[in-house]
Structure 1
Amino acid sequence: MRLWRYRDAVLSLTLLNLRLRYNNTLIGAAWSLVNPLFFTLIFTFVFTVLLPNATPDFPIFVLSALLAWNYFQAAVLNAAISVTNGRGLVLKIAFPRAVLPAAAVLTELVTFCLALGAVLVLLYLTGRGLGAGLLAVPLLVVLLTCLAGGLGMIFAALNVYLRDTQEFLSVFMFGWFFMTPIIYSLEAIPPERLIAGVSARALIQLVNPLSPLISAFRQAIYERRLPDLELIGASALAAAIFLGIGALIFGRASRRFAESL
C-alpha cells in the first residue's frame, strides 16, 4: 500500500529509465524485438539445419517462450542492481526503497509488452491467427511480473550487502535458461531420463518456478489455446510465494540500506 502512494515516483523513474535506454539509438524501442528475434533465428538454424527436429513452426515454438524468458531475466537482473545503482537517491532522499526495484521491473515490462504486441500482430498478419490463448496472456504477464518482482527484491537486498550477488546472477541465469523449457518442451524429455534417481521432467517442474509459466506462455501463443489449469495454478502459487518472500526480505533489509551503501 505504501508503494502505491509512491506510484508517481515509480512511473517517473520508469520513464527516465526508458529515455536513457533508447536515447541516441536509431530504432529506439524496436531493439526490444531485435534480441529475441535474433536468438530465435540462431536457435532455428541450430535445431532445424544442424540438428533437425520434427517440431512444426519451430521459430514460433521458441519465440513464444523466449520472449517471456528475456523479460524475466532482464527484470530480475536490473531489479537486483537497482538499489546499488540508486545509491545517490537512497542516501539523500527518504522514500520507500521498493520504488527502485519496482521501477526496474516496470521498465522491462514496458519493453516486453512492446515486443509481445509486435509478435502477436505479426502472427495475425501472417495468417497464423491467435486463438483462445490470447485471453490468458494478460494473466500470464501479471504472474510473470510478480515472480520477477519477488525474486528481484530478494536479490536487490542481497546485493546491497554482498556485491557478488549480481555477478552470481549473471552466471546463474545462463544455467537457468537451459533448465527452463524454452528451446525444448518438457514432453520431449524421455520419462525414463533420471537425475539422481528422480525423473528429469519432474525435477525441472519441481525446482524451477519459471517452468510452468513458460509452458503456459507456449500453450497460449504457440498452441493457440488456453493453458492447462494446473500450469496456471502452479504459476500463481510460485508468483505469490516469491512475491511475498521478496517483499518481506526487502522490507526488513531496506532499513539498513543507507548504512551499507
Structure 2
Amino acid sequence: MFGMFKNLWRYRGFVASSIANEFSVRFARSKLGGLWMVIHPLTQVAIYALILSNVLSAKLPGIDNKYAYAIYLVAGMLGWSLFTEIVSKCLTLFTDQGNLMKKMIFPRITLPAIAVGSSLVNNLFLFAAVMLVLAFLGNFPGDTILWLVPLYALLVSLAVGVGLIFGVLNVFVRDVGQVVPIFLQLLFWFTPIVYPIKVIPEELQQVVMMNPLYPIITSFHNVLVYHRAPDFDCSMLTLFACSLGLLILGLFIFRRAAPEMVDSL
C-alpha cells in the first residue's frame, strides 16, 4: 500500500500535467472555457430554484433571506457534484484507459489520482462561484467555512472508495457501469439536496437518514446556510471510520486486481 503512494509521489509531475492537459483539451475551442464547469451545475440549481422555491422556501426556518431556497440548493449541490463526479469518473476510468494500461508501463495509481485531481479542480471553480453567489445574496459563511476542510476530506475518501470498488468491478462485469448511474439518480432523491428533510413523512425521514451522504450534505448546509459547525456526533464519527475503511478497501482491491484488469481489458 505504501508503495503505491511512493510511486504516486514520484509521478506527481505526470499527474499534474495530465490534469492540466485534460482541461486544455476539453476547452481547446471553447469561448467560455472553464466557465462551463460552473455554468452547468448553477443552471441545474437555477432550474430547481425556479420550479420549487415558491413551494419550499417557507419550509426553511432559520434563514432570514428571501433567497433562502436558492442558498440551500447551492450548498447541497456543492458537495453532491463532487461526490458524483469522482464516482462517475472512477467507474469508467479503467475501461476508458484500457489501451493506455496495456501499452505503457506506469504506476496504475496515477489514473485514479488524475481523476480525483481533475474533479477537485472542477469543484474548486464551482466553490468559488458558490462563494460569490452567497456573498451576493448576503449569506457568506465567514469563519465557519473552515469546517469544509474535514468535510471535503470525508467526502473525497468516501467517493474514492466507492468509485474504485465499482470501477474495478466494472472491468469484469460491465453491467456495473449501467447500474451505478441509476443508483446515483436514486441516491440524489434520497439525499436532502432539493428539499429539507422535515418536509417528507417521518417514516421516509428514517430511510433518508440511513443514506451515508445525509450527514455530509446536512453538514454542508449547516456551514454554508446556517453558519454553524457540523454536528460531529457518533454517527458522523462512524461515517469517518467507514469512509476511511472503504478508501483502504478500494485501494486494496485496485492493487490486487490491477494485473487481472489489464488482461480483461
Q: Is TM-score (shorter-chain normalized) higher than 0.5?
A: yes
Aligned mate of 1:25, from 13, 26, 30: 30
**Code of the aligned partner of 1:202:** Q
**Code of the aligned partner of 1:10:** V
**In the TM superposition, what whole-angstrom CA distance separates every residue of 1:60-91 from its partner, at most 9, and x where no partner exists?**
10110012111211111111111111112200
Q: Give the deviation of 1:104 after TM superposition.
A: 1.0
Aligned mate of 1:107, from 106, 109, 118: 118
Quick check: 1:160 aligned with 2:171? yes
Q: What pairs with 1:169-184 in structure 2 (closer than 5 Å)?
A: 169-184=180-195
Per the alignment, residue 257 of structure 1 pairs with 261
Q: Distance in 2 between matches of 1:227 and 1:114?
A: 23
Q: What pairs with 1:95-244 in structure 2 (closer than 5 Å)?
A: 95-191=106-202, 193=203, 200-206=204-210, 208-230=211-233, 232-244=236-248
Percent pairwise identity: 30
Per the alignment, residue 45 of structure 2 pairs with 40
SS in 2 for 1:229: coil
Q: Distance in 1 between matches of 2:57 and 2:198?
A: 17
Give yes or no for contact 1:216–1:232 (8 Å, CA) kept in 2. Answer: no
Q: Give the deviation of 1:128 after TM superposition.
A: 2.2
Q: Distance in 2 between matches of 1:162 and 1:181?
A: 31
Quick check: 1:86 aligned with 2:97? yes
SS in 2 for 1:25: coil
Q: Give the deviation of 1:259 after TM superposition.
A: 0.6
Quick check: 1:68 aligned with 2:68? no
Change beyond 3 A, Cα 1:260–1:30: same
Q: Give the deviation of 1:183 after TM superposition.
A: 1.1
Q: Which ranges of structure 2 fall in alignment gaps of 5 or more residues? A: none
Q: Give the deviation of 1:159 after TM superposition.
A: 1.4
Per the alignment, residue 5 of structure 1 pairs with 10
Change beyond 3 A, Cα 1:52–1:135: closer
Q: Give the deviation of 1:16 after TM superposition.
A: 1.9
**Code of the aligned partner of 1:74:** E
| Higher alpha-carbon deviation: 124-133 or 6-15 | 124-133
Q: Give the deviation of 1:6 after TM superposition.
A: 2.5
Per the alignment, residue 248 of structure 1 pairs with 252
Q: Give the deviation of 1:51 after TM superposition.
A: 6.7
**Code of the aligned partner of 2:193:** I
**In the TM superposition, what whole-angstrom CA distance separates every residue of 1:121-175 from its partner, at most 9, and x where no partner exists?**
3322443222342011122122211111111111111111122222212211111
Q: Distance in 2 between matches of 1:14 and 1:8?
A: 10
Q: Distance in 2 between matches of 1:51 and 1:216?
A: 20
Q: Give the deviation of 1:235 after TM superposition.
A: 4.0
Per the alignment, residue 196 of structure 1 pairs with none
Give yes or no for contact 1:80–1:159 (8 Å, CA) kept in 2. Answer: yes
Give yes or no for contact 2:56–2:195 (8 Å, CA) kept in 1. Answer: no
Q: Distance in 2 between matches of 1:9 and 1:209?
A: 33
Quick check: 1:14 aligned with 2:19? yes
How many residues end up aligned between the 2 structures?
Answer: 253
Q: Distance in 2 between matches of 1:130 and 1:47?
A: 24
